[in-house]
Amino acid sequence: MQFQEKNPNIQWPNECMRIRCMGHELSLAECKIHYQEPVAEDTAVAVAKCYKETPGECKKFICANGKCLINGKPCNGVDDCGDNSDEMCCQKCRGQAFLCKSGVCIPRYTIKDGIRDCLGGEDEQDEKNGTKTKQTEKLFFDPMSEIRKIRTSTEDQLQCGVPNKEYVYKQEDDTTSHSRRKRLVGGEEALPTQIQWQVAIQDEGTIHCGGAYLGGCWVLTAAHCVRPKPKSFRIKFSLWKKHRKQSTTDSIPVKNIIIHHEYNAQNYANDIALVQLEELNLSDKCMQDNPAVRAVCVPWSTQQFQPNDTCTISGWGRDREGKSAAILKWANVTIISDCQNYYKDRFLPGMECAGDLEGKVDSCQGDSGGPLVCTDASGLSYVWGIVSWGDKCGEPNHPGVYTKVAHYFDWIRFHTGWPAVTKFNQ
């Protein structure tokens, strides 16, 4: 990015985007972007030089997203790849970058800034306590075991991706045994407070869709589930039986609905929306603390999970006979590659396929907007997809199609600005 006076020999556009950055952002997507404005004759302009793939074999670092890192260097605390893969699995960091115990290098200016950037929180710990990691620290022989050890002692500090274990298997007072339930559309009925980031979207008193709680005052859902009329909606947390609240259920009014500006209702392109909740009176919170509600993490890279990985879907969808589920259900599905083979040109960028090609497990009508959640090797859960569309629910060779959340990371980050949506360790 460079600033320069307008050269009269260059054909400049009549309008430019006005962007305000504070200096700590890692990309323009994190800055506040305003609408286009006319460019005055004496106005200095900034020229953004975009990355272009060089032909031939990459002779330097290859990022997880396929980008060839030519100018930048790995493990220097700077996200040159765009998916932060050049700052992972580091034995030590270059320059002044700080090494997290998980092997991630973060910028020095993020140390003690009040935001937890390292998985273990060592970037916010005092050096006098002897807990601050030195950047010369050696790589752990078993890094995943070390990460699990860190998480065990710091789960209460994590802002997303870890459910309240005391409530995962908690049963409703008037509920009998749940040791084994009838199979429904390849799935099982959930326990009352098992899926703690699942929400129900109530539209004028009726629930047709689900969503995922991101934390703060934000819920993620499908664009086709909502419309720009916030007063018509309420978000229900910790709902188990579709038509009956339980002791942990909260019902929150909606303040704002942000539908992706390129959403296409005809082909479900960019089928994603954010729901902002109303704050409580004289508070920046939207609900009282609820032990049965936890946020799910937002994935930053489209490479975090791969085909054949097993993930979980949940919702109150219909079964093969068209009957609506009265109780929240869940099922395991597999991420499927080459979805163009099944849906041809209907499968667009920003979409993901998951399910069972034999037709045993699938999301159906009524599950829309609900989360496809994948858990990494260290036990942290991410909302990898949003139930979007599909043909012939539960039939062979017709996998469910989901909005791929990582594809929209910058869009989510831009609109929410929520600190937990970070590119470092979340």
The residues assigned a catalytic role are 224, 271, 368
In this structure, are residues 322 and 185 in contact, taking their beta carbons and an 8 Å threshold? no
Residues 108-121, buried b or exposed e (16+ Cβ, 10 A)?
Answer: eebbeeeebbbbbb
Between CA 399 and CA 173 the distance in angstroms is: 37
As to burial, measured by CB atoms within 10 angstroms (0-12 exposed, 13-18 middle, 19+ buried), residue 368 is buried
| Radius of gyration, alpha carbons of the chain | 23
Between CA 405 and CA 71 the distance in angstroms is: 29
Name residue 32's amino acid.
Answer: K
**Residue whose C-alpha is closest to residue 350's, from 290, 408, 293:** 408
Kindly compute the dihedral angle of the four CA atoms of residues 158, 162, 167, 171, in this order, to the nearest 10 degrees: 170
Between CA 314 and CA 304 the distance in angstroms is: 21
Helix or strand (DSSP H, E) at 167: helix 165-168
Between CA 414 and CA 274 the distance in angstroms is: 11
For residue 143, the Cα-to-chain-centroid distance in whole angstroms is 24
Helix or strand (DSSP H, E) at 409: helix 409-416
